[in-house]
Amino acid sequence: MRGLRSLDRSERFLFYTGLVMAASEIWKQWTLTFVLGGGSYNWWYFPFQLCSVPMYLLLLLPVVHASRLRRIFLTFLMDFSLLSGIGAFLDTSGMHYPLPALTCHSYLWHLLLIAVGIFCGLPAISDHTWHGFSSSVILFAVLCSAATVINLTIGRTHDIDMFYISPYYQMSQVIISDLTRGFPNPVRILCYLAVIVFGAFLLHLFWQHLFLVRNRKK
């Protein structure tokens, strides 16, 4: 694969990680549909949550020829995906399934998100500048827009809540739902998204201090 040869060692490792994630996600979807669902697909488990996006970004690395765009992907993984992996353990109720193997898969998936986020933050493959962060926020906005389109189209006939921002469901995310209980649901969704961006901002600040600030002092 020509695109794969253009990647450096770190990017190739991440791409292969994406392949492993994709293989495990295919197994998960098959199990949910044919083992637990009796052959009927449950759109609630459609893989386009914030925790699912890293799989797609990693698989796209060989396809994206612009190194600047690849750095945006990796910066997003360093900030937003690391946050989603950590945040999942604040409320593990959504990680439990009737089948223990699926529960194990869910825990391992989110631990892998944390590992990938740290891996992207440690090497010099991500953009630790504020420009890098703003670019990852734009990518987050694009992904939220895509999730909204999915929610508005498929959500008319099936249960689906991508990124947990569907207008058809009340905000139910832990802590945020309690703090914004008196607000209209659209405002609660915006607060939820703002908290995600702020959390990614804090992680980016950490990475920036760890590398840029320390290097300047040296």
Indicate whether 13 pLDDT > 60. Answer: yes
Residue 56 near residue 46 (C-beta atoms within 8 A): no
Please give the distance of CA 162 from its chain centroid, rounded to a whole number: 11
pLDDT of residue 85: 97
Distance (Å) of CA 145 to CA 16, 91, 138, 193: 28, 25, 11, 12
- Token pair listed for 138: 């734009």
pTM to 2 decimal places: 0.94
Indicate whether 1 pLDDT > 80. Answer: no
pLDDT of residue 211: 83
Region class of 175: left (phi > 0), else alpha (psi between -120 and 50), else beta: left
Kind and range of the H or E element at 110? Answer: helix 100-121
Q: What is the tens place of the pLDDT at every residue in 147-198?
A: 999 999 999 999 999 999 999 999 988 888 888 999 999 999 999 999 999 9
